[in-house]
Amino acid sequence: MQTSRQIFENVQKKISQKERITSDEALALFDFNDLISLGKLANQVRETLHSNKTYYIVNRHIDYSNICAIKCKFCAFARKKGEEGSFEFTIDDIVSRVLQGLKVGITEIHMVGGFHPTHSFDFYLETLRAVKKVAPKLHIKAFTAAEIRYFSKKFRKTEEKVLEELKNAGLDSLPGGGAEIFDPEIRKKICGPKGPAHYWLDTHKRAHALGFKSTATMLYGHIETAQNRVNHMEAIRNLQDESGGFMCFIPLAFNPKGTEFESKGYTSGIDDLKTLAIARIFFDNIKHIKAYWIMSGVEMAQLAQHFGADDLHGTVMEENITHMAGGRAPVMLLEANLHRLIREAGRIPIQRDSLYNTVRSFN
Ligand code: SF4
């Protein structure tokens, strides 16, 4: 039986020959405790793809409502209608947030919410149209695959129809949320009502077939095992081979407060960096790996630029989902803060758009 060091050395050889690593090799890397060597290898992949650049976007998150028809056990964001802490934005509230964002140059809104029990489908269509009316060039990344599935069931339309109608109203791409962890047993325990993993994968496959780009996430640091993580990444890698629509992979560090898994605590820095590094080494078919500072913390995201990550997400401006779960990062970063985080890591800040085209390079 090979040691994790021997497996790591095989992986090094494969990477230098541009060969794909296996899921068993990825699993063995979770047992490999030489984090610096692992980081160097992930960094080699990252620099081959992106040289010294780190990407970010000037964006605004709009969590349009936390009222949710279901309850996932890992979630501290959702509320029932009328419950203390519940909120829902009107279309005017959303448009006024867009207008505020435009003043600081946002190029994207990232808009998600709970499974709202009473909104009509027209509410979503009208929201998209209202945003496009005041900001025709603004990229709208909205509605997780879980929300799309919910719309399909609630409004008795096929997912294709839901996606097409949203697209015609102004939807540009899909965020990667809602994937959580694909393992059926763990999924039942943390987010059973959301349904099986194939829902998320099928929705992204359909979206890609309709020409949407999207991102992929993995929620880690709760009750899943390393094997569960690798299986999750393998399912995403397989779908990407087929559809090619994922622009980025985003490991999401679990924030526990107010959830049923509060006793698990926060993820460790070593786990955060190792998970990012393994993802960078594993995904030979997804170009970008994002360090999502909202969930991992700003300091960890900065370090992540040497452990495989090439994208620091964005300015965000407002955030509820993670902060209602005890998120310890700020709710926004100024562009100047992002530049400092990138430059201190010895990287070059590149402002990107939602499809990873360069908006401005700060050489
Ligand atoms: S994770 Fe989403 S679907 Fe699940 S309870 Fe929270 S808001 Fe609702």
The predicted-structure confidence for 100-152, as pLDDT tens digits, reads as follows 999 999 999 999 999 999 999 999 999 999 999 999 999 999 999 999 999 99
Measured CA to CA, the distance from residue 83 to residue 208 in angstroms comes to 37
Structural domains of the chain, with CATH: 4-56+141-361 (3.20.20.70)
Q: Is the CB of 150 under 6 A from ligand 1?
A: no
pLDDT digits (tens, 9 = 90+) for 225-254: 999 999 999 999 999 999 999 999 999 999
pLDDT digits (tens, 9 = 90+) for 62-86: 999 999 999 999 999 999 999 999 9
> Strand locations in the chain, DSSP E?
53-57, 59-65, 108-113, 139-142, 173-174, 213-220, 246-253, 288-289, 311-314, 348-352, 358-361
Helices (H) and strands (E) in the chain, counts: 14, 11
What's residue 339's pLDDT?
98
Measured CA to CA, the distance from residue 299 to residue 327 in angstroms comes to 13
Closest listed residue to residue 314, CA positions, set 175, 203, 154:
175
Model pTM score? 0.97
Q: How far apart are the first and last CA of the chain?
A: 48
Specify the ligand 1 atom closest to the Cα of 66: 7
pLDDT digits (tens, 9 = 90+) for 18-55: 999 999 999 999 999 999 999 999 999 999 999 999 99
Q: Is the CB of 325 under 6 A from ligand 1?
A: no
Measured CA to CA, the distance from residue 183 to residue 228 in angstroms comes to 6
Give how far Cα 149 sits from Cα of 105, 154, 155, 200, 207, Å: 32, 9, 10, 8, 11
Measured CA to CA, the distance from residue 278 to residue 280 in angstroms comes to 5
* Max CA pair span of the chain: 62
Q: Is the CB of 77 under 6 A from ligand 1?
A: yes
Mutate to test the pocket of ligand 1, among 66, 77, 79 (most ligand atoms within 8 A of CB): 77
Q: Whose CA is nearest to atom 7 of ligand 1?
A: 114
Whether 60 shows a pLDDT value over 90: the answer reads: yes
* DSSP letter assigned to residue 222: S
Q: Rounded to the nearest whole angstrom, what is the distance from the C-alpha of residue 286 to the centroid of ligand 1?
A: 27
Q: Rounded to the nearest whole angstrom, what is the distance from the C-alpha of residue 71 to the centroid of ligand 1?
A: 6
Q: Is the CB of 176 under 6 A from ligand 1?
A: no
Q: Is the CB of 71 under 6 A from ligand 1?
A: yes
Q: Rounded to the nearest whole angstrom, what is the distance from the C-alpha of residue 66 to the centroid of ligand 1?
A: 8
Q: Is the CB of 73 under 6 A from ligand 1?
A: no
Q: Is the CB of 68 under 6 A from ligand 1?
A: yes
Q: Is the CB of 342 under 6 A from ligand 1?
A: no
Element (H, E) at 226: helix 226-243
Q: Rounded to the nearest whole angstrom, what is the distance from the C-alpha of residue 75 to the centroid of ligand 1?
A: 6
Q: Is the CB of 114 under 6 A from ligand 1?
A: yes
Give how far Cα 184 sits from Cα of 100, 199, 231, 311, 333, Å: 42, 12, 11, 30, 36
pLDDT band at 1 (very low <50, low <70, confident <90, very high): confident
Whether 7 shows a pLDDT value over 90: the answer reads: yes
